[in-house]
Chains A and B, each alone.
Chain A
Amino acid sequence: MSRVSEIMENMEYGPSIEDSDAVRDWLRGRSPFGHFIGGKFTRSGTTFTTRDPSTGEVLAEVTQGGDQDVAEAVRAARKAQNKWSGLSGTERARYLYAIARHIQKRERFLSVLETLDNGKPIRESRDIDIPLAARHFYHHAGWAELRDSEFPGHAPLGVCGQIIPWNFPLLMLAWKIAPALAAGNTVVLKPAEYTPLTALAFAEICQEVGLPAGVVNIVTGDGATGAALVQAELDKIAFTGSTEVGRAIADSLAGTGRKLTLELGGKSPFVVMDDADLDAAVEGVVDSIWFNQGQVCCAGSRILVAEAVAERFEALLRARMERLRIGQPLDKSTDIGAIVDPVQKDRILSICTEAIGAGAELIGGQQGEGCFIAPGYLRNIAPANPGMQQEIFGPIATLSTFRTADEAVELANNTRYGLAGSVWSESATVATDIAARIKAGVIWINCANMFDASAPFGGYRESGFGREGGRAGMLDYLSEPKVKSARDPAPRQPVLIDGAEGKGHDIDRTMKLYLGGAQKRPDGGAMYKVPGGLAPLGNRKDIRNAVEAAAKSGKWAAMGGHARAQVLYYIAENLSARADDFAKRTNRQETDAAIARAFQYAAWADKFDGTNVQAKPGHLVNVLPEPYGVMAIACPNTQPLAAFMSLVMPAIAMGNNVVVIPAQDDPLVLSDLYQVFDTSDLPGGVVNIVTGVRDELARTAAAHDGVAAMWYVGDRDGLASVERDAGGNLKPVWSPANRDWTKPDAQGAVFLRHAIQWKTIWLPYGALPEGSGGAAY
């Protein structure tokens, strides 16, 4: 029988290998690679090998960057920055556009190179990674053009250090470099040691388009190189990678005043409601955890399925899984390629073993020769099993069931991460509700792993902070308009006085803590002397109680902007009625500022809107501001009323509940203020006030895992401690400069931006099949 007749019998696919000769020639011509610094490739130094994980074949020798290399790269970037930033928007846009075009022109080359270095199927690098990378530069060419008009008063940060992972090497490079350059920064980027090659090819593109020397610098190396970069004199670090490393970076940047954005791990829920299109959901799993060998930070790796449809869903899932083809990454018919490195393979297998040991059953997931693992999922698995908590970062999902929508949400949110979530339901009513309740930065309704340069991407919780893409992403590469800062007077050592001793002294007021809408004695019972009377000396437990009270007050956010605005207006009205009292306690300026703040943020409460972004036709992509939940605010030790109101009003206007540590030395006016809160229908628990030693209390709050974000106004040492303690749950810390809090620059949208996190919700729509003509939002 001829071969053709034979194939006509078995109908197999046969090999279809993408040609890699051009790429191999290029590698032979270039290896060993040096760094790309100041527009030139350096001579190679001590090198390490980068391999094709599917075969173990050495692809190239790449230089291990040391402190010197990093320093040189930073110098080159620093030298180039002023001029780069000084170019007109159009001029910078032209460079970004040229980069986008060059990526497109070299799409096949870059796809093959990416696949060789990383092990991902050529289909994915060809159809997803590289086109999205080009798209990112196109989109940000636009932001370069529009920077000055769309971000008035903002300036580039300077030199940014960027450390990217190995799972989407060129795409992550694009996510980092495009917005940085658009904003006028220059960069030093370190690609992952497993996958440095497309970054080096990108460096050639920078040369080809004539990008000014030093605007983009690429230093290759391992974690030690990354650590050197983190230590360097930079204005920002942007990191994508593991939560452990992210935490270490946050720790080492604490108190340096450098900007930091982190895009870290995830264990994202994939919620299948009983009214879902189950076939669609199964394909969603394929696009989630069986995409890029499951090495996707935002992969819907925790499948949660309604008990009512679980059996059928699993049957479909299993059948679909069996049709996936594992094999050579360069084969165009491969669905699942190679794990990036044997180390990662071992890690995946060990987590699976641990999960199985804890009672889970693994379906599929067989290990193959070399770096291959078959797709699979763990069933009979519950949150208490470590396999359902840890990020496996391999092609293994977990599958568990829920009974009702509320249980689905509870399970979905039972994680320290919050990067993404996927919801499957044919009811818009149900799906949008679940989307609102899942605590994650990106929600895909009836789809999974959708990305676009216009759609901000980033996490809640321990998945990091900061956004990449769109307007929100640009803001993370720009510095906010400068304000005139003022020195924050150092707090005095509190003088303790107990209640009995107080009698006979010149004391007219004894303040209490304000927790859950009620006045409470401090846990330790101690008071300290403040102008005009005594203030309670709060301690750790008072902070704990305050956080508890704040967490319990769940209705505030759900009331909506209009209802919150009414309360804030009412606060303004009542403050105004007692303006003379407040002026006596403080002064007229502070009182006026306090009233102004209530008005300002009442105005904003129903106007700090999200946007609908133009990601893809047929997709309604909304970017919505969501409150953090519980925030802690440490106020400056000055202007107790104006500063308090300037910080607390924007936070609560956005729907947060706050734990506030007021001016340490002079908090007594707040005992009048909380009476105003009480009479203004502010629900109990929205504002909680703990007086005492600011920096001690702030550190307790920063270290509290129930606090989602922290604002701190104080000195550098205090900030350093707070930032270090905040690393526990990776809460973002914002430290607005101390200033004259009665002035207009103590209010505005800047404060609101730090009181929310952006959630991007993708909703593909379409009642009519393809070819029926379309409408686009």
Chain B
Amino acid sequence: MSDRRNPGIDLDTSFFADIRINTPAVERRAATLPVRRSLKKDWQAAWLLNAVRCIDLTTLAGDDTPDRVARLCAKARQPIASDLLAAMGVEGLTTGAVCVYPTMVAAAKTALGNSGIPVASVATGFPAGLMPLDLRLAEIRYAIDQGADEIDIVITRAHVLRADWGALYDELRAMRAACGSARMKAILATGDLKSLENVARASHVAMQAGSDWIKTSTGKEGINATLPVSLVMCRAIRDYCARTGHRVGFKPAGGLRTAKDAISWQVLMREELGRDWLSPDLFRIGASSLLGDIERQISHHVTGRYAAGHRQAIA
């Protein structure tokens, strides 16, 4: 596991004070990105397997149980059937992490054993985040106590909507401190922020406060990860890196369901940030159903026959 961290910097609003984002232009770029690049055959298979490598295989439902989480973890360890992988000469493929509620961390840790797959836990009153700060920080500490390697926190959207950057920064700093050696992903809930300029501003504050990844959504907002929003966040990552030298990862979540989506987002990463942002260290995909579609595509690639879901192991 990489030990890349983003130490953050002091709050500096000059990073985004005069930011200008033209929404139609972002949408145009986002619409043409996936059609400007095409992947076929082995390349398509390799890119899909890379997407698997970057998936935070997720279950965040009210009815999660330790056994359900264990099933998810089994899939994380063997995301693609071993015969298919063998046919492609690929070994040791796992998902990037599993992502669960804090109370499920222990079950996940057990299930994942010595696989080396990190466990990510949401925290801080996920998904709304409207709990007293001390409780949110306590939740982080609880998750870490349970063995979480990564913490997916949610920001207080009100701070963004009210442009209270100091409050947002301080809250995130406190969370970052609570995370200790666990790496932090900051969920911006972009579907609530609405404007792309808000998304960019929130991205900058989250990075300045030391987030190791910035993440689009909880999966519970009306609109989750979209390519336009992702493009804006990637550009913020690029600008932050140019000014500070710190590399921050990106995690789109909710909304990536098809193998085609997985390719589109990877093309976005490669074109806007470069090859390094296609590694699980700097790119994660928060998803659950996506993996099934990728496995079907891989199966077709290997066998030349179309796959049926019931012949694949479910998560």
- Whether A770 and B39, one on each chain, are in contact in the complex, defined by CB atoms closer than 8 angstroms, is no
Q: Name the one of A1, A13, A284 contacting B43, with C-beta atoms under 8 angstroms.
A: A13
Which residues of chain A come closer than 8 Å to B271, judged between CB atoms? 323
- The reply on B305 being an interface residue by CB < 8 A is no
A402 to chain B, nearest CB (A): 18
The segment out of A71-79, A706-714, A727-735, A760-768 that lies at the interface is A760-768
Partner of B20, one of A2, A15, A276: A276
CB distance from A349 to the nearest CB of B (A): 26
| Contact pick for B25, options A5, A11, A280, A770, CB 8 Å | A280
- Interface status of B81 (Cβ within 8 A of chain A): no
Asked if B132 is an interface residue, CB under 8 A from chain A, the answer is no
Q: Which of B135-143, B167-175, B205-213, B222-230 contacts A (4 or more CB under 8 A)?
A: B222-230
Partner of A768, one of B21, B41, B50, B195: B195
B25 → chain A, closest Cβ, in Å?
3
A280-B22, A323-B271, A447-B24 known; A8 vs B40 contact (CB < 8 Å): no
Q: In the complex, A275→B21 CA distance in Å?
A: 10
Verify B40–A766 contact, CB threshold 8 A.
Answer: no
Chain B 26-65 per-residue mask, 1 if CB under 8 angstroms from chain A, else 0: 1111101001111111110111011001000000000000
Instruction: Knowing A333-B38, A770-B226, A770-B228 are in contact, say whether A277-B25 is a contact too (CB < 8 A).
Output: yes
Interface of A is mostly: loop
Q: Are B90 and A14 in contact (CB under 8 A)?
A: no
The answer to whether A525 has its CB under 8 Å from any CB of chain B is no
- Max chain B C-beta neighbours (<10 A), residue from A8, A278, A619: A8
- Smallest distance from the beta carbon of B224 to chain A beta carbons, Å? 10
The answer to whether A772 touches B223, judged by C-beta atoms less than 8 angstroms apart, is: yes
* B24, A4: Cβ atoms closer than 8 Å: no
Contact of B36 among A3, A14, A335, A772 (CB under 8 A): A335
Contacts of B25 in A (CB 8 A): 277, 279-280, 283-284, 446-447, 764
| B24-A12 in contact (CB<8A) | no
A127 at the interface (CB under 8 A from B): yes
Does B89 reach chain A (CB closer than 8 Å)? yes
A14 touching B43 in the complex, CB below 8 Å, given contacts A764-B24, A768-B194, A769-B194: yes
Which residues of the other chain, A, contact B21 by a CB distance below 8 angstroms? 277, 280
Flag whether B270 is at the interface (Cβ < 8 A). yes
Q: Mark A749-766, 1 if CB is under 8 A from B, else 0.
A: 000000000000000111
**B235 on the interface (CB 8 Å rule)?**
yes
Q: Evaluate whether A14 and B41 lie within 8 angstroms (CB atoms) in the complex, with A280-B25, A766-B23 already known.
A: yes
How far apart are B193's CB and chain A's nearest CB, in angstroms? 9
Complex formed: what's the CA distance from A447 to B194 in Å?
22
Is A223's beta carbon under 8 Å from chain B?
no
Which of chain B's residues has its CB closest to A14's CB?
B43
**For the complex, what is the distance from the CA of A446 to the CA of B37, rounded to whole Å?**
24
* B89 x A769 contact (CB < 8 A): no
Residue B202 lies at the interface, judged by CB distance under 8 Å to chain A: no
Known contacts being A2-B88, A8-B90, A11-B47, is A769 close to B23, with CB within 8 Å? yes
Residues on the A chain within 8 Å of B220, using CB: none
CA–CA, A1 and B235, complex, Å: 34
By a CB distance below 8 angstroms, the chain B residues around A279 are 25, 29, 235
Query: Which residues of A in the span 265-297 have a Cβ within 8 Å of any Cβ on B?
Result: 275-280, 283-284
Partner among A4, A127, A332, A447 whose Cβ is within 8 Å of the Cβ of B46: A4
Q: What is the bound-complex CA distance between A179 and B89, given in angstroms?
A: 58
Nearest A residue to B190 via CB reads A769
Interface check B144, CB cutoff 8 A: no
Docked CA distance A426–B28 (Å): 16
Q: Please, how many residues of chain B have a CB less than 8 angstroms from a CB on the other chain? A: 45
- Also in contact, A2 and B22, with CB within 8 A (given A769-B27, A769-B226): no
List the B side residues contacting A1 at CB < 8 Å.
89
Q: In the complex, what residue of chain B is closest to A5 when comparing beta carbons? A: B90
Do B30 and A770 have beta carbons less than 8 Å apart? yes
Q: In the complex, what residue of chain A is closest to B89 when comparing beta carbons? A: A2
With A11-B275, A333-B37, A335-B36 given, is the CB distance from A767 to B195 under 8 Å? Answer: yes
B228 touches A769 (CB 8 A): yes
A333 CB to nearest B CB, Å: 5
Decide if B104 is an interface residue (CB 8 Å cutoff).
Answer: no
B153 within 8 A of partner (CB): no
Asked whether B278 is an interface residue with its Cβ less than 8 Å from the other chain, the reply is: yes
Chain A residue nearest to B18 (CB atoms) is A275
Judge whether A524 is part of the interface by a CB distance below 8 angstroms. Answer: no
Given contacts A123-B36, A772-B194, contact A766 B27 (CB under 8 A): yes
B196 at the interface (CB under 8 A from A): yes
Question: B23 contacts A4, CB within 8 Å?
Answer: no
A210 within 8 A of B: no
In the complex, which residue of chain A has the Cβ closest to the Cβ of B53? A8
The smallest beta-carbon distance between A286 and chain B, in angstroms, is 9
Q: Given A3-B42, A769-B228, A772-B223, do A277 and B22 touch, yes or no (CB 8 Å)?
A: yes
Bound Cα distance A279, B196 (Å): 13
- The reply to whether A7 and B42 form a contact with Cβ atoms under 8 Å apart is yes
Bound: A766/B26 CA distance, A: 10
Confirm or deny: A504 has a beta carbon within 8 angstroms of a beta carbon on chain B.
Answer: no
Contact A426 B194 (CB under 8 A): no
Q: In the complex, which residues 267-315 of chain B have their Cβ closer than 8 Å to any Cβ of chain A? A: 270-271, 275, 278
**Distance (whole angstroms) from the CB of A603 to the closest CB of chain B:** 39
- A335 (CB) vs chain B CBs: closest residue: B36
Are A765 and B24 interface neighbours, CB within 8 A? yes
Find the B residue at minimum CB distance from A6: B46
How far in angstroms is the closest Cβ of chain B from A453?
Answer: 19
Q: Which residues of B contact A5 (CB under 8 A)?
A: 46, 88-91
Using known A-B contacts A11-B47, A332-B38, determine if residue A771 contacts B226 with beta carbons closer than 8 Å: yes
Q: Provide the residues of chain A in CB contact with B53, threshold 8 Å.
A: 8
Q: Scoring B residues 162 to 204 as 1 if CB is less than 8 Å from chain A, else 0, what string do you get? A: 0000000000000000000000000000000011100000000
Complex Cα–Cα for A279 and B53 (A)? 30
Q: A611 an interface residue at 8 Å Cβ cutoff?
A: no
A4 x B90 contact (CB < 8 A): yes
Find out whether the CB atom of B229 lies under 8 angstroms from the CB atom of A769.
yes
Contact pattern, A 599-632, Cβ under 8 Å of B = 1, otherwise 0: 0000000000000000000110000000000000
- A-B residue pairs, 8 tightest by C-beta: A2-B89, A14-B43, A280-B25, A7-B46, A332-B38, A764-B24, A16-B38, A277-B22
5 A-B pairs in the complex with CB atoms less than 8 angstroms apart: A2-B90, A4-B46, A14-B39, A446-B22, A764-B25
In the complex, given contacts A6-B46, A426-B22, A768-B23, what are 12 additional A-B residue pairs having Cβ atoms less than 8 angstroms apart? A1-B89, A4-B45, A5-B91, A11-B47, A11-B270, A277-B25, A333-B37, A446-B22, A618-B24, A764-B28, A768-B195, A769-B195
